[in-house]
């Protein structure tokens, strides 16, 4: 009898671990690296410039910011899969996703979404009163995005803002207040994400036409969509320059901006109107390097500015 119970518990645990692994694969958990470095940059800027004396964020603050980011992104991505389940069933590119195949149930996805949202709220509570008050607003924006492609071609910008909020949220978490200069970084991240999401959406133009969904590639065509994405990224680099100037950042920050610009230029070289075969490399690899290198160089700049 005891052996039966033990076997049942072990089997149940393996099933739950397997479900969690499948869920993390579904939401591309590893791609949390996209927004997290920008959020940590916001935290470093707040610690350096928001208070009367330059400082560093505490390890506790940084840990809770990471927890908040992971919770927010996990909730948002799972909600996106729930909202788009009907379309994922119809789109040949997405028919192997776990909610479509039945590897995960809709009920499980809802529970995971609510738990991830709760993680965000708890993390915000641990960071600052203002962060806690604004956490429901952040969740509302994140969940709203999942429905925007049904009525606007500019859903890419809404997605961008979902990630663009992160540096401002980190500033609030560290300082308990807000600095208008954070809007510059928010706008830069928004345009960065919107630009590469336009590139990614080029894969689904024909499906969007048949399904009645909206996107910039569908509205303007792939060639013009690529030009718009390029324009977004040019403005992003200009905004980063404005941000560096507004904080009087030393040379490593400007080197980081140059690195970001070079990687964006390379990204756009990978994608052609008549050849989207290298889109995965552009979307995943290059953008991961962009966010990490930006954080490294700006972290170094903040360190230099404190000396």
Q: What is the pTM of this model?
A: 0.90
Provide the pLDDT for residue 167: 95
Q: Is 100 among the domain residues? A: yes
Provide the pLDDT for residue 10: 41
Long-range contacts of 101-109 (CB under 8 A, 24+ apart): 103/22, 104/19, 104/22, 104/23, 104/26, 106/82, 108/19, 108/23, 109/23, 109/78, 109/81, 109/82
Q: Is 24 among the domain residues? A: no
Q: Higher confidence at residue 56 or residue 249?
A: 249
The residue range of the domain holding 183 is 31-306
Q: Higher confidence at residue 129 or residue 18?
A: 129
Provide the pLDDT for residue 30: 57
Q: Is 13 among the domain residues? A: no
Provide the pLDDT for residue 31: 59
Q: Is 25 among the domain residues? A: no
Provide the pLDDT for residue 277: 79
- pLDDT digit string (tens) for 231-249? 999 999 999 999 999 999 9
Q: How far is CA 268 from the centre of its chain?
A: 20
Q: Is 15 among the domain residues? A: no
Q: Is 70 among the domain residues? A: yes
Provide the pLDDT for residue 256: 97
**Are the beta carbons of 42 and 182 closer than 8 angstroms?**
yes
Element (H, E) at 299: helix 287-306
The number of C-alpha atoms within 13 Å of 51 and in the hemisphere containing its C-beta is: 14
Provide the pLDDT for residue 83: 95
The number of C-alpha atoms within 13 Å of 222 and in the hemisphere containing its C-beta is: 18
pLDDT band at 288 (very low <50, low <70, confident <90, very high): confident
Location of structure tokens 């995965």: 280
Share above pLDDT 90 across residues of the chain, in percent, rounded to a whole number:
69
> Is the per-residue pLDDT at 214 higher than 60?
yes
Provide the pLDDT for residue 9: 38
pLDDT band at 153 (very low <50, low <70, confident <90, very high): very high
> Is the per-residue pLDDT at 5 higher than 60?
no
Q: Is 168 among the domain residues? A: yes
Of the candidates 238, 190, 140, 179, the one whose C-alpha atom is nearest the C-alpha of residue 43 is 179
- pLDDT digit string (tens) for 132-150? 999 999 999 999 999 999 9
CATH number for the domain that contains residue 227: 1.10.357.140
What are 206's two structure tokens? 């024909």
Polymer length of the chain? 307
Q: Is 262 among the domain residues? A: yes
Cα torsion through 47, 139, 32, 298, rounded to 10: -20
Domain count, the chain: 1
Provide the pLDDT for residue 103: 87
- 6-20, 99-113, 114-128, 201-215: which has the minimum mean pLDDT? 6-20
Whole-number average pLDDT of the chain: 88
Mean pLDDT, rounded, for 289-307: 90
Mean pLDDT, rounded, for 286-291: 89
């Amino acid at each position: 009898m005891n052996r039966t119970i033990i076997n049942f518990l072990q089997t149940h645990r393996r099933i739950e671990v397997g479900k969690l692994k499948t869920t993390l694969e579904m939401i591309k958990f590893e791609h949390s690296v996209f927004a997290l470095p920008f959020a940590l940059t916001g935290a470093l800027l707040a610690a350096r410039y928001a208070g009367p004396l330059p400082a560093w964020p505490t390890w506790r603050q940084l840990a809770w910011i990471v927890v908040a980011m992971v919770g927010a992104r996990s909730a948002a991505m799972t909600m996106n899969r729930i909202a788009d389940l009907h379309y994922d069933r119809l789109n040949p590119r997405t028919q192997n996703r776990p909610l479509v195949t039945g590897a995960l149930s809709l009920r499980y996805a809802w529970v995971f979404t609510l738990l991830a949202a709760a993680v965000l709220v708890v993390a915000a509570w641990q960071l600052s009163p203002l962060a806690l008050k604004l956490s429901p607003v952040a969740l509302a924006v994140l969940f709203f995005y999942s429905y925007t492609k049904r009525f606007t071609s500019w859903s890419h910008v809404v997605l961008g803002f979902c990630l663009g909020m992160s540096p401002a949220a980190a500033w609030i978490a560290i300082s308990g207040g807000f600095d208008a200069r954070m809007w510059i970084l928010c706008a830069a991240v928004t345009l960065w994400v919107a630009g590469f999401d336009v590139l990614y959406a080029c894969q689904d133009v024909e499906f969007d036409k048949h399904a009645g969904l909206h996107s910039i590639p569908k509205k303007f065509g792939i060639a013009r969509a690529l030009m718009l994405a390029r324009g977004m990224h040019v403005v992003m680099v200009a905004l980063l320059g404005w941000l560096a100037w507004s904080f009087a950042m030393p040379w490593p920050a400007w080197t980081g901006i140059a690195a970001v610009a070079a990687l964006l230029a390379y990204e756009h070289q990978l994608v052609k109107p008549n050849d989207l075969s290298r889109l995965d490399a552009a979307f995943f690899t290059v953008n991961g390097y962009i966010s990490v290198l930006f954080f490294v160089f700006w972290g170094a700049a903040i360190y230099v500015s404190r000396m």
